[in-house]
Structure 1
C-alpha cells in the first residue's frame, strides 16, 4: 500500500507549475486548481477577476518515501519570483500570488525553514513575500486546464516564453 501525501503550491499561472513536478518517480498526480478564497467551487472566470480571494495553485499527490516534501519545496522556489506580491511574471493580480499551503505541522516547519534558507541565501535583493499558509479546500480547475502543457504544448510553450519565467529562472537558479 502506497503512502501518499499532499502538497499545495501557488506559483502564479498553474499551467506553468504542473510540468516541473510532473516528471519524477514518486509523484502520483499534479492537479491545477484554486484554493485560499472565500467562494465554493469557483470557476476560472470567477477566479481570474481577482475578487474571489483564491490563488491559482497546484496540488501534488506524492509518495514521501520516494520523493520528499523538501525536494518539492526546492522545485517550488526555483519556479517563482518570491519577491513579487502583485502576481508572477506577466500574470498580474491577487490570483497569481505565491504561497505554500501546508497540510501538516511538519510541512509548515519545513516550509518555514525553506523560506528562511532563501532569505539567508541573499539570492534576491528584495524582500521574500511568498506566504506560508494552512491548506484550505482545494477546488480542481476545469478539465481543459489539467495537464495543459501536454494537451496544448505549443500554446503552453508560447505563453511560457512570453511570460519571462524561464529567463528569470535561468538568471537566478542556473
Structure 2
C-alpha cells in the first residue's frame, strides 16, 4: 500500500496538467491500469479577503489523481512555489514504443534545453525521466567494460534509444 503521496504545486494550471498527464498515460500502448481523477475540491467562487489565494476562485484547492495506480495530490496555489529539476518522476518503460510515447507526449511544449540522458521537462515545468528497463540491466552487467560503454552512450542521448544502448554495450 502506498504510504507517501507526492503533492504537486501549480500556479493555476493544475486541472489542465492532471487531465493532460492522465490522457498521456491512458493512451500508452502498454497501459497497465486506468489513470484517473479520484477527487477534486475547488476554491470558492467568491474571493476571501486577505488571503494570498485570491485570483484562484473556482480553481483546484486539492485534487487526488492516479497515474497507473500511483497516487498524487495537486493544487493551484498561486506563484509562491515553482517546480524544479530537484524532483523528477521516473517512468520505467518495457519497450522502445513506450519510451517514444512518453517522450513525445511529455516533451511537447517543454524546455528542450532540459532534455538529457532520458530526462525532460514538460510544459508545466515538471521533470520526468523516461527510462527503458533495459538500461538498468545494461548498466549493472558484471562486465564493467560493456556497462561503461552503455553508460557513455546514454550520456550522449536526449531520448534513450534501446537499440543504440545495446549497440554500444556490444561494441
Give the TM-score, by structure 2 length: 0.28
The higher-RCO structure (CA 8 Å, 6+ apart) is 1
- Whichever structure has more helix as a proportion of its residues is 1
Structure number with bigger Rg: 2
